[in-house]
Every structure is written in C-alpha cells, then in structure tokens.
Chain A
C-alpha cells in the first residue's frame, strides 16, 4: 500500500453556472518517505491537485476518481476524521507565508494552534516544543519570536515558522506549494535546504510543487510534469535533464529561470499556457508544440510507458532529443 494513491482524479469547477473540468484523469502514487515534484506553468493544476490530497477543493467543485491516504479514501472521511487527518498526518507549506499566516495573531499562537486545539497539548508543553522546533529551523531568540507578530518577521523567517509549525505534529506527508517562490533569492536555497533536511531526517514523504525544475530535481525522487490539468510526463528526477521526452518538459527545461533570479516565471515558451478549462480535441499542448502533427490535434494522447518515463505524447518515441 502506497502512502498516497491517486487514481483518475478529476476536478470540475463551477464556471458561470456551468461545470467545467480543470483536472483531467490524474493518477500517481507516492510511497512513504518518497518525494514527488509537480512542475508546470502556472494554471496547470498543480495547486488544485496538491490541495485535493488534503481534502481541500474549491467551493462548488466536484471531485472525481480516488485519492487515498494509507489506503483510506480522503473523500470518504467524515468531518472528525478529516480534522484528525489534517491535524496530524498531512502538513502544508504555502507559497507566501505572509498571507498564509494570520497577521493579527502572534507567531506563538500560530505555531501552537494546531497541537493545542486539536491534539490536546497543554499550552506550556506546546510552548516548550515550539521553542525547540524554532531553534531547529534556525530561528534565533525563539522565545522572543513567539511573542512577535508576523509583520515583525522577514519572509524567510516566516516560512521557517511555517515549516516549524508543521514539525510539531510529526506528519507523514508534507505538501509544499512553491514554498520558496515568494522569498528573495538568497533565502530561497537555505529554506529549501532546510525543508529537504528536515524531511529526510524525519522520513516524511513530500509533494513539492514548483516551477523551478532545478530545485525540484534537487529535492525530489520523481518529477511529475503537468500541463492544462493533465499529467504529461512522470519520470525519476535524475532522468529529467537527459531522458525526458515530452516536448513540453523539454520546453520547460529550456525556459528554466536564469540563475540571477530576475526571471522566475516560466514564460519563455512561445504562446499562452492553456488551462484545463480549455477544450481541445487533441493534445492541449499541440497549439504551442513545434512537433505537432495531425494526430496531435485530433486525438488526446494517453500516458504510456517509455523506458522509465510515463509520457503522454503521440510522438514521444519519434523525437530524438539531443541532450549534450
């Protein structure tokens, strides 16, 4: 039994009275302690997929398929079980800690809210542990920081607080949604290193959403590439650079951010990114794909195994990527 099993996950959202599918037939598995990176342009459905694992979907949306955690279907959990699941088994780190942490409550309250409210810890226990984890994530003078308000801390510090808060309850799975994107370049790598180190030392599994391919390959075992609400390629991280086959993945690699950090959006692929909402007859990427042929415009490609990768491209085995 895998830690997380996603099978034919679909999501239909309400768009002006009508229902529209934004996530199409997403399936993958994550083993305990393993980490998967989900990459893709913005709007490709990364966050929706990630949140669905925590049982969190937009209002009025309809989830299809199956998402199970340790064999238990998330959508079948009752309210109480869901609370318990969220409070002790999964943890989430968001892109912008400044908006993800209630600005009018103290850092200490934020850190200990879950364990005090849901896990029944005493306030003093929680405080002692909070100081411990703050120290662990590299925050100096933790006692003082507990009394500080989020606005008094830098973004990097806040993200560390966010990470620390997730260590308190010892979850099995960490969901990280672009945890470094909003941080300045100099803190990005240290925060990422921290996440990686803590994850490994505690044996947590992780799903890491990013559009920084480099970062994803560095901290993940597998890479899952999404485009327009679909998985286009799933492959071992070490294979990404040299053995990836989907033209979209290749395009992402070419368009990866420059190291000076000035351009951190994946916008160098010609054409507009498509969202899962857009209905096409064939491959959604065909409109932007240099290799598209008639079949690409008429038939939706399905994931198929080519060597170690799963690729959804009609021409994946024809194109010879010259990676030198």
Chain B
C-alpha cells in the first residue's frame, strides 16, 4: 500500500509540474498583449507601459518566468493579479471556499439524482428505465444558464424558498441555503452522466455470473441487488468521481455567473480572458492539485473497496 501510494503521489507531483508548465506555455504563446488589459483601455505613457511590463515580468523569456513563478509558489507567493490589482492568494482564498461548497453540495445532488435514476433504470427494464433515462437526457440537455434561470424564477422568485443570488456569508448554513439552487443547476448534466454510467454498470453487473450464483443459491432478490449488483456496480462509478469533481469546478463558471456567486470558475474565465498570468496559473494550480488529490482519494477508496486492485498491486 505504501509503495503504491508513493508512486501515486509521485505521479501526481509530475502531473502538477507538467500541467502548470503547459498552461504557462499556452499563456506565453497566446496571441494578444496582456498589456492592453493591464492598461484597462486607458491612454498611457511609454514609461507607465514599461513599468507595468517589468512589474508583471512580461518581457522575460518563458523559462525564467516559469521558474520565478514556481519559486514564488514554494514560498507561498502566488503573485499579483493584474486584472484585479490584488494579491492572488487573497483573491482566491474566499472564492475557493465558495466554489468548494458549491461543488460539494452539487456532488450530493449528483450522487442522489444520478445514482437513484441510474440504479432504477439499470434494475428495471421497460417503463421505469425509459422514464429515468429520458429524465436524465432532458436534464442534461438543459443548458446551465437556462436551468439556472428556471430554478431562480421558480424556487427563488415565485416560491421564495431559496435566495436568488449570492454565495452566502461563508457559514455552512448560509452556504447550504444559497448554494442549493446553483448546485442543482450544476448537477444536471453531471447527474445525467452518472445516471447513464450507473445504469450501464448495473446492467453489466446484473448479467454477471456471480449474480446468477447468488440467485441460484436462493438469496432474495433485494439482497442480491444490494450486496451483489449495486455494490459492485458502484465501483466504476466511483472512479469517475475524480474526473467529475474537477470538471465540476471548471463548469461552475456559468452557474456562478447566473447566481452571482464569487467563485473560482468565474474568476478563471475573467483571468483567462484578460490574460492575467498570475491568476490563471494559480487557479490552474488549484485545479490540478484538486484533481491529483481527489484522484488519490479515489485510488485509496478503491483500494479499500475493491480487493482486486490490492491483489493486482501486490
């Protein structure tokens, strides 16, 4: 286990370095001059332009820039955002918490919606299956902004059950009330994806021979379903978790905009559009680290849940 873990951690570190370097390179090679955004469209003297260029390291070659960035990161300095005129760590800290709340609450909805629909559809053929899959397809085909619009209008404006906008004051209870609608909006397409995957996995598992064994040994259907079909079928779904998680953070952008939540997703969009090197890098770093950490967690979970992995590694 320990060796396995170390190997995973090593791989994770490599992923982090490679990704940040790639993003750095992409920004470096991107067309357009970030100086335009730094000036915010204002007339400026050549001296001011030169000063800004120096301040944001815009003239240095790629590798120097990357090295000075990564050195800063190790010293806990993520740099200064050009677009926001503020310390990157300050900008990110509160937004990260907000987005985490959003993603985690969304995760709950995705699991509940996705797994319920997927398991129902997988276990029952015919009406329930068609209904569940149609529901999933319809939900996933609603664009996030339309979904947000409908949710806001019905549950915030008409019924008044939830706040229409904002991310709350940082406490868990206000996060839950503020994030419920955006989390649902965010959960639609991922939930449908989980539903489809779960359904397929349940189908495969239902047809597997060990389920026949259990059946032919007279194990009641409900126990066959819970012990042998669902439990096994969830394993491949769990492995999606890592990918889904990071995908969710990225796709928060739309939902955060629609619900006026100040989170990482929206920040990344602005940062990328304004070629805000420091900010894009920092957010990328966070995304990659989350990806690595979540995948590590999934691996460990797998290790615990699926004995096959253990004997394979051993």
Contact = CB atoms under 8 A, between A and B. Distances in A.
Interface in B166-221: 208-210, 212-220
Contact of A104 (B213, B217, B232): B232
A82 B220 CA distance: 10
B95 interface: no
B311 A149 contact: yes
Contacts of A103: 210, 232, 306-308
Interface residues of A, number: 32
Nearest to B234: A104
Contacts, number: 85
A92 B311 CA distance: 27
Contacts of A149: 307-308, 310-311
Interface stretch (B53-61, B223-231, B256-264, B272-280): B223-231
B17 interface: no
Majority-rule SS of B interface residues:
helix
Contacts of B165: none
Interface in A84-137: 84-88, 90-92, 94, 96, 99-105, 113-114, 117-118
A82 B215 CA distance: 10
B308 A100 contact: no
A76 interface: no
B212 A56 contact: yes
Contact of A83 (B218, B228, B310): B218
Interface bin, chain B: 20 to 34
A152 B308 CA distance: 8
A149 to B, nearest CB: 3
A54 interface: yes
Interface in A196-221: none
Contact of B209 (A100, A105, A150): A100
Given A82-B218, A92-B213, 11 more contacts: A85-B218, A94-B209, A99-B209, A100-B213, A102-B210, A104-B232, A117-B219, A149-B310, A151-B307, A151-B310, A151-B312
15 contacts: A51-B212, A82-B218, A83-B219, A87-B218, A92-B216, A100-B210, A102-B228, A104-B305, A104-B307, A104-B308, A114-B218, A118-B218, A149-B308, A152-B307, A152-B311
